[in-house]
Amino acid sequence: MEKIITKNLNLWYGDFQALKNVNSGFKANKITAIIGPSGCGKSTLLRVFNRMNDLIEGVKMNGEILVEGENILNPDIDLVNLRKKVGMVFQRPNPFPLSIYENIVFGEKIHGDNIKKDKLYDIVEESLKSVLLWDELKDRLNKSAMKLSLEQKQRLCIARLIAVKSDILLMDEPCSALDPQSTARIEELMRELKNNYTIIIVTHNMQQAARVSDNTGFMLFGELVEFRDTHEIFTAPSDKRTEDYITGRYG
């Protein structure tokens, strides 16, 4: 089943066209990687799935973006609910300057109505267990999240999305600030999370895309050149431009 589908999607920043007629389908409970050189439109495509590009002045879009069958470009779409369902993890971890506990329950307090304290505690426990942080942090819940390691902060940011029941996780270079050991642990976490979540990751690291993703899309100059099974795209790309990029002759 395809969780997200784009049909003839175009996006402009002012007069500059950043996405050109993008047609794609992102399958549920899979990890999809988007690769390509800097400035090719990878992060722009990722951000359209929860309408984050709307925050940039002069953005125009046309075409369709279907999230679970609903076109999120419709003017009456509820953006709060969309961003609750489709959460984003950024390049550098961005925990709030609050306690670990308050980071996790922050979204639930906004979206929920009069949730009891014991229910909030259950949400914190469940969310931290989902990102394999509970054992490390269960005795430090009232400590500042800003004192965590970079890897722990990134896991915490993922847990924050899980707490508000996001079921699509967008990850924009989530390991670029991490060392190789921490990167390997975040990649392992992604493999575990895909059992319950749909994950789309933008990465400059082709080795990472090959390691963790089920499907891969290659972008160039705003076009989605090729979108296929990851093993196929890395071993037998169908487009010469994809082959040139993967083999290092371009980009």
CA 175/CA 189 separation, integer angstroms: 12
User: Which pTM was predicted?
Assistant: 0.93
CA distances from 191 to 2, 188, 216 (A): 18, 5, 15
Check: CB of residue 29 under 8 Å from CB of residue 194: yes
Within a domain: 92: yes
Coil, strand or helix at 28 = coil
Residue 250 phi/psi, 5-degree rounding, is -145, 140
Where residue 113 falls among pLDDT bands split at 50, 70, 90? Answer: low
Asked if residue 147 has pLDDT above 80, the reply is yes
Check: CB of residue 228 under 8 Å from CB of residue 216: yes
CA 202/CA 36 separation, integer angstroms: 9
Where residue 240 falls among pLDDT bands split at 50, 70, 90? Answer: very high
Within a domain: 121: yes
pLDDT of the residue at 251: 56
CA distances from 84 to 170, 176, 211, 215 (A): 12, 25, 28, 24
Check: CB of residue 229 under 8 Å from CB of residue 218: no
Where residue 114 falls among pLDDT bands split at 50, 70, 90? Answer: low
Among residues 106, 140, 105, 112, the alpha carbon closest in space to that of 126 is found at 105
The 10s digit of each residue's pLDDT in 68-101 is 999 999 999 999 999 999 999 998 899 999 999 9
Range of the domain at 41: 2-246
Percent of the chain at pLDDT exceeding 70: 97
Within a domain: 251: no
Where residue 112 falls among pLDDT bands split at 50, 70, 90? Answer: low
Q: What is the CATH number of the domain that holds 105?
A: 3.40.50.300
Tally of structural domains, the chain: 1
Within a domain: 185: yes
Within a domain: 30: yes
CA 178/CA 151 separation, integer angstroms: 7
